[in-house]
Structure 1
């Protein structure tokens, strides 16, 4: 009787395959028991497939890392080669008002850190000079978009030093936050980090006109005023100060219009009132020197006997002397 060798071979093959499957199962179990961190491959059908090597998928090549080079820092602002105050002392001593606490401070426009001062004073009440940073705060808080009433109040408070108009500007800042803090921000942005609006030298709250404003800090403010947002807008009014208040810096203007007001080479604001020594007069402004550069200037005097006319004359002579003592290299421009 013939033997079905095909069936025998099938049985042998089947047994071999079963043995192979058993070995594979044991190996897989052993690997799992060893805690392999590799993920288990998908189980294959030992009856119908043979093992094939696993081929890693081709991944797109990673682009080379881009090493960014940091931008170089901006070059330092080159200081202006100003005349040292020590070289002006002898001329300053000859000015009238030296015995009346005459004080002069100045700094190149755009360089408040180069402020210099001659003279000292025991009283630094701002009086109406504080109306300039007040008006600037009123403009900045509105983004330069001024209602007509506010624009009129700025013009009146700066050009003719109207106190009621300034008071309305001060009260109007309430809508944007703490009034004094808003003025302080303006002062800080223009280089004056010490002054606190509506605070005296002792830090006591006072009416904003009695703000303690050091003469050199006022000069820092003036030196930066042309360079800050809306500063030029304020300076337009500071170029049209009423002729009755155009002493000091205003007296050295080269150009005038038919009303006797300065038009192009000076911009300023004055303030005056009682002081511990009797009477105080001061100014803050910008003086344009030949060549087009500017100097931020602050002046102060306490005239004997509270004589306003005498004080105006002293400040006019001081401003004229300063203009003649400084040259084009003392002036600066906005960056």
Structure 2
């Protein structure tokens, strides 16, 4: 066992050397400038995207590699301190797909801004129990489909997402237009990192902390988490399960986005992967940088 751990450590250090041309460092910056420092976790997350391996025992990166080896399917996570100004960590091979009900978060903000007297019931149901009819009511209250799409998109832009387009019309008749927006994991994590800093976001954040019990998987395991899940089948019936939100870390608030598309296509399998990723993050919170909104 000891020999194996030494071998894994050597492998990690070898990968670190290989990545030096691309990364600032594999430890603390020698200049002492925290803003320029690259931790082992940061380096590993980037190298994961280049098919390099960091398996330093006991790290989040090593845990993610072990998780990936035991799961059949595609999945990923993106992590960033609240405030939106620090580096983002990304892991895994799933990068983008339909937003599903996670897009109800900017939808609620847009609806509340358009009409301060928007139904409290509709906002509550859309977030806490992911009620689709309630969300459709909010969408329709934003005006024409084109106006609604622009209003939700404007909230995304304010939250730092400069690329996600919200469609005005349904690409699949049985699903909402906004839920079929292509929302990448990185842009979703970026939006989450700025969500608490947006004007009039208090209501939706309070609702994200009150998710119904049967939807409290994944990030729901964290005390005080503010989060929203989304899930749905592709044209073949295979499920994508995703979730994003904000949790408390030792040094501040942390924005996280998860997604899983299991080979089985089963919703339950996707949900289980998100549970495993949440557990992994909980075991390595001390590796993650937290943040807060600029004062």
Q: TM tier, shorter chain?
A: 0.7 to 0.9
Kept after mapping to 2: 8 A contact 1:279/1:303: yes
More strand by share: 2
Matches of 2:168 and 2:102 in 1, distance apart? 15
More displaced stretch, 180-189 vs 317-326: 317-326
1:215 and 2:185 correspond: yes
Larger Rg: 1
SS at match of 1:302: strand
Q: 1:224 aligns with which of 194, 200, 204?
A: 194
Matches of 1:235 and 1:268 in 2, distance apart? 8
Specify whether residues 139 and 80 from structure 1 end up closer, same or farther in structure 2 by C-alpha distance, changes over 3 A only.
Answer: farther
Superposed CA deviations along residues 187-238 of structure 1, whole A, max 9, x for unmatched, are 01111000011279x9xxx821111000111101111111111222211000
1:1-335 alignment runs, 5 A limit:
79=35, 83-86=41-44, 88-95=60-67, 98-111=71-84, 114-121=87-94, 124-142=97-115, 145-147=116-118, 150-174=119-143, 178-198=147-167, 207-251=177-221, 253-254=222-223, 265-275=224-234, 278-291=238-251, 293-327=252-286, 330-335=289-294
Superposed CA deviations along residues 236-262 of structure 1, whole A, max 9, x for unmatched, are 0000101111101002x23xxxxxxxx
Kept after mapping to 2: 8 A contact 1:112/1:191: no
SS at match of 1:138: helix
What TM-score does the superposition give when structure 1 sets the normalisation length? 0.65
What TM-score does the superposition give when structure 2 sets the normalisation length? 0.73
TM-superposed CA distance for 1:324, in Å, is 2.4
Q: What RMSD, in angstroms, separates the aligned Cα atoms of the two structures?
A: 2.7
Q: Which residue is equivalent to 2:50?
A: none
Segments of 4+ moved more than 6 angstroms: none
- For structure 1, the residue ranges without an aligned partner over 5 or more in a row are 1-77, 255-264
- For structure 2, the residue ranges without an aligned partner over 5 or more in a row are 1-33, 45-53, 55-59
Matches of 1:154 and 1:321 in 2, distance apart? 32
TM-superposed CA distance for 1:101, in Å, is 0.8
Kept after mapping to 1: 8 A contact 2:122/2:134: yes
SS at match of 2:239: strand
